[in-house]
């Protein structure tokens, strides 16, 4: 009986089902188109962050519990080894820092002589990564801090190896970052050795960047370190981005195409650094303070500006 | 009472499916992540068709897009098509033996991947890697277990009430 009624109803059913299907398909397509063109998804996620953030938190729970268990089970020996290694690394890094600060002072003096004003200071903030797999076809990570913690869209993120990516979406307590390897990402770079400038594009694969249209005459070799050039103003200059792995002529044979391996450890690190470059706007009037330190300068000029404007 | 427990279970399983989409898996494996949300929707469309229609698929798809920060509407479109196909062939699918059902699920999921790669191609994304095509196979292998597990849970809930 059930059979008979369902089969006799089938034709009318399919007709009455096709119309809603078409409606939903059109609706979904319209949504996709507007999101692709106008990026409404970003705003929607911001509005609905109250719903989305707890879900992300919930999804990251298993991984967090696992790492907690892992910490508990770590042996004393392993911890000691780890500690020893860290102390050693710290000493080496400290020694290097001493030299760097001397070079930094010298560099600043030379820049002053040249009257170059690229003396923006860096503000660094440590944030942890929320262990959530977003779309696996896109290279994105979720950061466990948001606008309430001072994260802003466009901030560069990096780890101990080098530049990791940039923040593209910020909600109250979370932020989404686009990694340099995402197919949508491009970063202005420069060969550290020769100063040759180019742009490194993400490929969508987790450990490969693409540098296209390199002139045959360009001074670039396999093994060269690519650092940020600071052009465009989004990334601070001079941080390692990738190491050139291969160079091949492109289809026309007139240019070369390079592949580079990201310097940052793009697998799940625990914490990353958010970098904020403060570029002091060139003073219009004579600065109030004589020789400001780089860190104090932006605040001082900003305050001076504030006092003068009213 | 029976209705209610079934409703709760449906919502719970679909939410679990949503959550499973973003739970971290070892890298490499995350591309082959079985599409649990689609499997659950498929199950509920077979069992309670009057409550699981295109609208449900659309809403859960949209939620999945929101959570996974993908293109808004992509999964909504894919799931609407999937549920439409399931409800179209529901009369036949319901009386298939489990292994035959699993094969049908494989075809549905492969179709879903095909739509997905078409959409990715349209928005100029790179092609899917071969690992992504393992996902339908995993979905097929999971289907009998899921089906039996949810059936048993529902039976137990019915006995209790």
Q: Which of A194, A161, A191 is nearest to A179 (CA)?
A: A161
| Chain B residues within an 8 Å CB radius of A40 | 72
pLDDT at B3: 63
Give CA–CA dist A257/A254, Å, rounded.
10
Q: Which of A228, A171, A51 is nearest to B62 (CA)?
A: A51
Give CA–CA dist B33/B126, Å, rounded.
18
Residue whose token pair is 């390692």: A240
- Give mean pLDDT, residues A133-140: 76
pLDDT at B126: 64
| A138 in contact with B, Cβ within 8 Å | yes
Higher pLDDT, B133 or A285: B133
Domain map (residue ranges) of chain A: 18-47, 122-280
pLDDT at A20: 87
pLDDT at A269: 58
With 50 as the cut, is the pLDDT of residue A80 above it? yes
| A203 in contact with B, Cβ within 8 Å | yes
Give CA–CA dist A265/A193, Å, rounded.
22
pLDDT at A117: 59
User: Under an 8 A CB cutoff, do A41 and B69 touch?
Assistant: yes
Specify the CATH superfamily of domain A122-280: Rod shape-determining protein MreC, domain 1 (2.40.10.340)
| A26 in contact with B, Cβ within 8 Å | no
- Taking residue A289's Cβ as centre, other Cβ atoms within 10 Å add up to 11
With 50 as the cut, is the pLDDT of residue A309 above it? no
Q: Which of B40, B47, B49 is nearest to B11 (CA)?
A: B40
Per-residue pLDDT of chain B (161 residues; tens, 9 = 90+): 556 778 888 899 999 999 888 888 776 677 788 999 999 999 999 988 888 888 999 999 999 988 887 788 889 999 999 999 998 888 889 889 999 999 999 999 999 999 988 888 887 666 677 888 889 999 999 999 999 999 898 888 888 87
Are A275 and A143 spatial neighbours (Cβ–Cβ below 8 Å)?
Answer: no
> How much of chain A, in percent, has pLDDT values that exceed 70?
80
Report the residue of B72, B83, B90, B116 to disrupt the A interface, i.e. the one with the largest count of A CBs within 10 Å. B72
Strand pairing partners for A124?
A275
pLDDT at B85: 92
User: Under an 8 A CB cutoff, do A7 and B91 touch?
Assistant: yes
> How much of chain A, in percent, has pLDDT values that exceed 90?
18
User: Under an 8 A CB cutoff, do B24 and A59 touch?
Assistant: yes
CA distances from A134 to A43, A294, B102, B160 (A): 17, 39, 27, 39
Higher pLDDT, B129 or A283: B129
pLDDT at A305: 40
Give CA–CA dist A57/B22, Å, rounded.
10
User: Under an 8 A CB cutoff, do B23 and A136 touch?
Assistant: no
CB pairs under 8 A between A and B: 125
- Give mean pLDDT, residues A153-161: 86
Residue whose token pair is 């262990």: A131
With 60 as the cut, is the pLDDT of residue A151 above it? yes
Report the residue of A28, A47, A138 to disrupt the B interface, i.e. the one with the largest count of B CBs within 10 Å. A28
Report the residue of B12, B66, B73 to disrupt the A interface, i.e. the one with the largest count of A CBs within 10 Å. B73
Which residue among A62, A135, A203 sits closest to B70, beta carbon to beta carbon?
A: A135
| A79 in contact with B, Cβ within 8 Å | no
Which residue among B65, B71, B91 sits closest to A36, beta carbon to beta carbon?
A: B71
B59: its two tokens? 């809403």
- ipTM at complex level: 0.85
Give CA–CA dist B66/B71, Å, rounded.
8
Higher pLDDT, A119 or B92: B92
Higher pLDDT, B49 or A242: A242
| Chain A residues within an 8 Å CB radius of B128 | 137
User: Under an 8 A CB cutoff, do B80 and A10 touch?
Assistant: no
| Per-residue pLDDT reduced to its tens digit, A171-218 | 888 888 988 988 889 999 999 899 899 999 988 777 889 998 898 888
Domains and CATH numbers, chain B: 2-160 (1.10.1760)
| A294 in contact with B, Cβ within 8 Å | no
User: Under an 8 A CB cutoff, do A41 and B25 touch?
Assistant: no
């Amino acid at each position: 009986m059930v059979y008979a009624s369902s089969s006799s109803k089938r034709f009318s059913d399919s007709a009455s089902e096709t119309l809603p299907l078409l409606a939903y398909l059109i609706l979904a397509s319209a949504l996709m188109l507007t999101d692709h063109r106008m990026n409404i998804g970003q705003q929607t996620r911001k509005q609905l962050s109250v719903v989305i953030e707890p879900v992300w938190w919930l999804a990251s729970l298993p991984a967090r519990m696992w790492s907690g268990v892992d910490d508990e089970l770590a042996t004393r020996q392993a911890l000691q080894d780890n500690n020893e290694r860290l102390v050693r690394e710290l000493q080496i890094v400290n020694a290097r820092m001493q030299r760097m600060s001397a070079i930094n002072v010298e560099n600043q003096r030379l820049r002053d002589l040249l009257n170059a004003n690229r003396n923006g200071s860096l503000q660094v903030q440590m944030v942890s990564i929320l262990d959530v797999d977003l779309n696996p076809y896109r290279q994105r990570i979720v950061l466990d801090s948001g606008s309430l913690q001072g994260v802003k869209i466009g901030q560069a993120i990096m780890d101990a190896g080098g530049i990791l990516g940039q923040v593209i979406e910020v909600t109250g307590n979370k932020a989404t970052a686009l990694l340099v390897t995402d197919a949508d990402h491009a970063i202005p770079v420069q060969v550290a050795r020769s100063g040759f400038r180019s742009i490194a594009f993400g490929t969508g694969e987790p450990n490969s960047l693409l540098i296209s249209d390199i002139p045959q005459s360009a001074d670039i070799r396999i093994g060269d370190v690519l650092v940020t050039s600071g052009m465009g103003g989004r990334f601070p200059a001079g941080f390692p981005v990738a190491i050139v792995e291969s160079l091949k002529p492109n289809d026309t044979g007139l240019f070369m195409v390079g592949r580079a391996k990201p310097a940052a450890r793009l697998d799940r690190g625990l914490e990353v650094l958010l970098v904020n470059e403060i570029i002091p706007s060139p003073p219009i009037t004579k600065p109030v303070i004589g020789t400001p330190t780089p860190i104090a300068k932006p605040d001082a000029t900003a305050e001076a500006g504030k006092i003068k404007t009213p | 009472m029976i209705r209610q427990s079934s409703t709760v279970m449906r919502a719970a399983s679909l939410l679990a499916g949503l959550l499973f989409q973003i739970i971290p898996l070892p890298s490499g494996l995350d591309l082959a992540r079985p599409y649990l949300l689609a499997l659950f929707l498929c199950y509920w469309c077979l069992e309670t068709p009057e409550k699981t229609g295109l609208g449900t698929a659309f809403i859960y798809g949209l939620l999945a897009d929101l959570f996974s920060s993908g293109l808004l509407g992509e999964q909504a479109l894919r799931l609407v098509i999937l549920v439409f196909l399931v409800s179209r062939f529901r009369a036949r699918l319901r009386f298939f033996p489990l292994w035959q059902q699993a094969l049908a699920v494989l075809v549905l999921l492969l179709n879903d991947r095909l739509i997905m790669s078409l959409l990715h191609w349209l928005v100029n994304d790179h092609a899917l890697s071969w690992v992504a095509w393992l996902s339908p196979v995993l979905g097929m292998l999971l289907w009998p277990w899921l089906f039996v597990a949810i059936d048993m849970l529902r039976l137990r809930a019915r006995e209790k009430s």
